[in-house]
Amino acid sequence: MISNRGVKVWPAGKSETFCSDHWRCRFMAKKGSTISHQQIVELLAACRAGFDLSRRRVFANFDGERGYSLDQGE
């Protein structure tokens, strides 16, 4: 999912959304699978091509419960 200023713009965003130059991407594992730290490093390296990365956060589940808030549109 990609958001801009807190509004989901992909997938199924609204074309009339005013966008600034600050984007947030949220990558999630498929249901029932996990993502390793090495996969995160590789994904960040691929995303870095032509972009400045300002922050990275890893969301986790604890005892089967989501340890983070859902973003708009999730």
Taking residues 43-54, what's their average pLDDT?
A: 77
Query: What's the mean pLDDT in 50-68?
Result: 82
Q: What is the pLDDT of residue 63?
A: 92
pLDDT attached to residue 32: 84
Average pLDDT of span 38-47: 84
Reported as a single tens digit per residue, the pLDDT across 10-26 is 888 888 888 888 888 88
Q: Global pTM?
A: 0.61
Q: What is the DSSP string of the chain?
A: -EEETTEEEETT--TT----S-EEE---PPTT----HHHHHHHHHHHTTT----------EETTEE-SPPPTT-
